[in-house]
Chain A
């Protein structure tokens, strides 16, 4: 289990796995308006990016973490606005649930898709 340490306490260490963080981010992405899919990227990239689970990459960043989110957006939406909402929603949820500082959040729109 890959662990991103959160804090040392007198009673012991509190640790949160990157898998947990990825799940929180994914769940938040599922509910983001405009996001209709997550993209795992090419096979090579997937093999190289160990911390990556589905559409979420996580890297340690100073006191917290950095995220890269690979998303598919519904065709015909304002991509910049959807990306801004994705960034703020995911960063807010991860911080709210883990207490980790979320530094950079990269939103990578891998594709647009018509769903209707």
Chain B
């Protein structure tokens, strides 16, 4: 019985953290939306990747505003389902797979440490690659692989979670231009992959939020008006 109580209390705190992280990711995507739209040349140059990622993450944020089950497996199921239903566009579908994979590998009890994050990213990479016959390299998929490799190679360093996330963002920044060379249509247009750029912005926002460094230029109030802004 006392076990169950601990479990529930942990989940309430966890949901609050998830809420903060999801909002931070949404806010970052809203800021980067136009830039990401402008990068979108693959698979179809229709300039909607930024908008699609915003809609997808907004579905997750909206779900987190609702009363949620406190039992962790049910919570994970509800969040995955919200992202599945809310996924928009190619990038949104891939993001929903990434998050579903990560959530599946989330530890049964907090805290999420560097080792747990590495396992989550590994599972996220597997889930992302599992849903396509011929994975196209240079895209979100490749960035996901780079991130999971980085986390895996550093999982024994006992880095604090915030520190590992910062390292992952650095690896992502370094990787983004390099991997975009793998896809001719990106190289010809002199752009990086829009979906990968969006994924990296989400990760950066999460790293910043967890490390408590608030981006001074970003007015926090925008969070509250976000759901009605389109």
Known contacts: A85-B90, A89-B44. The answer to whether A31 contacts B131 by CB under 8 A is no
Contact flags A64-91 to B (C-beta < 8 A → 1, else 0)? 0000000000101110011011001100
Give how many A residues have a beta carbon under 8 Å from the other chain's beta carbons. Answer: 22
- Chain A contacts for B134, CB-based, 8 A: 30-31
Interface of B is mostly: helix
Partner of A81, one of B87, B100, B126, B127: B87
When the two chains form their complex, are residues B43 and A35 in contact, meaning their CB atoms are under 8 A apart?
no
Known contacts: A30-B134, A116-B126. The answer to whether A78 contacts B90 by CB under 8 A is no
Is B89 close to A, CB under 8 A? yes
Contact flags A86-116 to B (C-beta < 8 A → 1, else 0)? 0011001000000000000000000000011
Is B133 close to A, CB under 8 A? yes
- Chain A contacts for B130, CB-based, 8 A: 74, 115-116
A-B contact pairs, 10 of them (CB 8 A): A31-B133, A32-B132, A33-B90, A35-B132, A36-B131, A36-B133, A77-B131, A78-B92, A78-B96, A115-B130
Give B contacts to A, CB under 8 Å.
Answer: 43-44, 46, 84-85, 87-90, 92-94, 96-97, 100, 126-127, 130-134, 136
